[in-house]
Amino acid sequence: MSGIAQKLASNQKQVAISEFFEKNKHFLGFDSLARSLITAVKEAVDNALDACEEARILPTIKIQITKLDPKKDIIKLVVEDNGPGIPQKSIEKVFGQLLFGSRFHAIRQSRGQQGIGITGVVMYCQLTTGRTTHVRSKIATEPTAAFVDIGLDTRKNKATKANAGREIWYNEDGSSKEHGTEVTAQMKAKYQKGRQSVWQYLRMTSIVNPHAEIIFVDPEGEKHHWSRVTERLPTKVESIKPHPHGIELGQLQRMIAESNDLNLNHFLLNNFSGVTNRARKELCQAAELEGTRKMKTIKGDDIRNLLEAFQGERLFKGQPAKLLKPPTNCLSPIEEILIKKGLSKTIDSRFVTTLTRVPNVTQGNPFQVEVGLIFGGTMAGDKPVEILRFANRVPLMYQQGGCLLTKAIESVDWRQYGLEQAGGKGVPKGPAAILVHLASTNVQFTSEAKEALADNGEVMEEARKAMLEMGRGLRKHLEKKKKMAKTKEKFELINDILPAIAEKSAQLLDRPVPELAGSITKIMSAVISESTTVWNKETKMVDVDIVLFNYTSRARAYTILATWPEKSGATMESNETGGRKEALGVWAWKLEALQPGERKNITYSLRGLERGDWTDTEVLFRGSQDVIGATKMDEKFLQEIRRQEQLELDNVADEAEANNDVEQLEATPLEPVSEQHIPEPVVTPPEGQRTLFGGEN
């Protein structure tokens, strides 16, 4: 028996990470010929977008696919970008070494983190065609571009390289390329069209990256161009320190062993986010450790006690230590206006609504949910809505049914918001597309292929709340459109028929044509609102005009409210009617009594926007009589806006407090601090009255 044991032990050997993925390439998304091509494009494009954004360059990405041998499904893929480029010495590590990257240890939002993606493409090409991957890259400080053929030694997880050199890189117009990277790969893959295709991936990528220009030439030679619709780069993200709630025992042990801090007080304030001077004291007391304890003496049970204090299992005066939320400058949401522009440029519709929730935290990791809904237009009304899922601006195209984001959509009863849904469960049907995006420092995927999000209660709740709020917006839109259409039809009918009857009757009776204003008023008996939102080319501002007509026999008093993109940096100008700010992005005007037959105009301009940023203004009202064309103010809507605004202010205050404690670490003694709290008419229709309902409202 001992001989068998020794023989078995002698057969054991370590497997390199690259050799493991070579035999399990399906883990990386290379499980079919069609999906392998999408995965390869995805990894190259994601790298290009990340590099451009880190260098603060507006991305221009070109993708070309050529069928080299259709019978054997051999395809050539070329992806070129205008990013900062890669220094020659780093090319072989970036493309030829798994788990090599700059983002794995950085706690911030990014598309890639593990350092597997593009090296996986090199490995797959080598496995299926035996060919190396050709890389050409130029940085701005060098006159020529470096090029090299990269392969992968899977046993050593090391790059193999050949044909290295330098050359002048010319653009298509003959000019010299300033900076960028080009990847040329040959692989066994299959190009197909449809919802799970390269074209669909690039289309979805353009929606959530409206600052990027993407050019795609397919195997048939057809050129597809998604132009950028904004010059605004995504918010630059900063790496943050780990939060105590997200720390595991092994990680804490390693941090303490590697620490160069003077004592535990310094360690807690220097190495974690959310730990203030007050929280530092409470954590130490909960863990029964002195803050002046030297780091080298903290071992074993001391570390476990500290971790239990982190997790709230050990209490300070009967309560968990009061930790702040982690900073949110590690996240870069797309933002509502840009989601709307991205959706509108790729999908024809009549209505778009978007929403960005305030950042939240799960297991010590900041995250933020964004949603968008586009309705009407040319979309089919008898099919399930199109679901557009994204994580850190990357499209998720597979495993839709098992994804948390899909489950959040299915958890809403969309029937009450105007869409069909059998039994109030499952994906709704209707002429709509629903977008949901998760921005997070630690996206929890169901597998290494990163195609679906794993279940998480906090993320699920945030996504569901966003869906409900967005659904209410759709319902308001549909109700307003329905009322407006009926009123328009009634108004046009009255203005067509009554004047003709009056004129004919006057001729028969040989009398003057009677005044019709009173009759029109009695029949209409409505207060009507219309709004226009247009881009002014001369002033480079958005001009908004809201008009209110009183077609009733009584004076009417209203407070009119309108939404505006304050969160996106817009400022309101030329607002002669005055009014006041009701909440973040909501302005209110209290009007004097609107007399029968009277009309009131509210006009203003919005500065600080680009063309196409703001094309529709939602008008709301407070008052006893309904206003057709406006929505009655739901006070819960205002409360939610104010709550979200307060959360944002609290986040800013928390970050400032934490930063101040760290900055004062050496300047002030670490003494206990006290708890603080952060705090109906006679109307004469004017000439051209029929234009009241002109155009799409």
Which is more confident, 494 or 414?
Answer: 414
Cα 307 to Cα 253: distance, rounded to the nearest angstrom: 10
Q: Does 656 have pLDDT greater than 60?
A: yes
pLDDT of residue 373: 92
Which is more confident, 114 or 510?
Answer: 510
Q: Between the CA atoms of 105, 106, 111 and 116, what dihedral angle is there, to the nearest 10 degrees?
A: -20
Q: Does 530 have pLDDT greater than 50?
A: yes
Q: Does 681 have pLDDT greater than 50?
A: no
396 touches 389 (CB < 8 A): yes
Which is more confident, 378 or 99?
Answer: 378
Q: Is 669 helix (H, G, I), strand (E, B) or coil?
A: coil
**Residues 322-348, mean pLDDT to the nearest whole number:** 87
CA angle 535, 693, 589 (to 5 degrees): 60
> DSSP label at 295?
G
Mean pLDDT of the chain, nearest integer: 83
The residue assigned the tokens 């002014």 is 536
User: What are the structure tokens assigned to 250, written together?
Assistant: 């092994």
**Cβ partners under 8 Å of residue 12, min gap 6:** none
Of 442-456, 569-583, 636-650, the poorest mean pLDDT is in 636-650
Task: Please report how many Cα atoms fall inside a 13 Å half-sphere around the Cα of residue 160, on the Cβ side.
Answer: 12
Domains, the chain, ranges and CATH?
17-226 (3.30.565.10), 244-310 (1.10.8.50), 336-477 (3.30.230.10), 518-633+667-697 (2.60.40.1170)
Q: Does 671 have pLDDT greater than 50?
A: no
Of 365-374, 399-408, 629-638, 654-663, the poorest mean pLDDT is in 654-663
Q: Does 695 have pLDDT greater than 60?
A: no
pLDDT of residue 27: 57
Of 76-85, 511-520, 587-596, the poorest mean pLDDT is in 511-520
Cα 363 to Cα 372: distance, rounded to the nearest angstrom: 26
**Residues 561-570, mean pLDDT to the nearest whole number:** 89
Beta-carbon count within 10 A of 125 CB = 26
Of 20-24, 402-406, 443-447, 455-459, the poorest mean pLDDT is in 20-24
Task: Please report how many Cα atoms fall inside a 13 Å half-sphere around the Cα of residue 468, on the Cβ side.
Answer: 11
pLDDT of residue 673: 41
The amino acid occupying position 351 is: F
Which is more confident, 549 or 136?
Answer: 136
pLDDT of residue 688: 41
Q: Does 351 have pLDDT greater than 90?
A: no
| Percent over 70 (pLDDT), the chain | 85
Strands 619-622 and 631-632: parallel
pLDDT of residue 465: 93
Strand order from edge to edge, sheet including 586-590: 580-583, 586-590, 559-563, 619-622, 631-632
**Residues 143-166, mean pLDDT to the nearest whole number:** 86
Q: Between the CA atoms of 23, 24, 25 and 27, what dihedral angle is there, to the nearest 10 degrees?
A: -170
For 158-210, write each residue's pLDDT tens digit. 778 899 999 999 998 889 999 999 999 999 999 998 888 999 999 999 999 99
Of 249-253, 334-338, 650-654, the poorest mean pLDDT is in 650-654
Q: Which of 490, 411, 397 is nearest to 450 (CA)?
A: 397
pLDDT of residue 500: 77
pLDDT of residue 213: 96
pLDDT of residue 675: 39
Phi, psi of 498 (to 5 degrees): -60, -45
pLDDT of residue 689: 43
Q: What is the CA radius of gyration of the chain?
A: 31
Q: Does 105 have pLDDT greater than 90?
A: no
Cα 315 to Cα 663: distance, rounded to the nearest angstrom: 27
Q: Does 510 have pLDDT greater than 60?
A: yes
Residue 181 pairs in a beta bridge with 81, 137
Strands 394-396 and 599-607: unpaired
pLDDT of residue 182: 95
Q: Does 694 have pLDDT greater than 70?
A: no
pTM for the predicted model, two decimal places: 0.79
According to the per-residue pLDDT averaged within each range, which of 263-277, 337-351, 482-496 is highest?
263-277
Banded pLDDT at 521 (limits 50, 70, 90): low
Q: Does 221 have pLDDT greater than 60?
A: yes
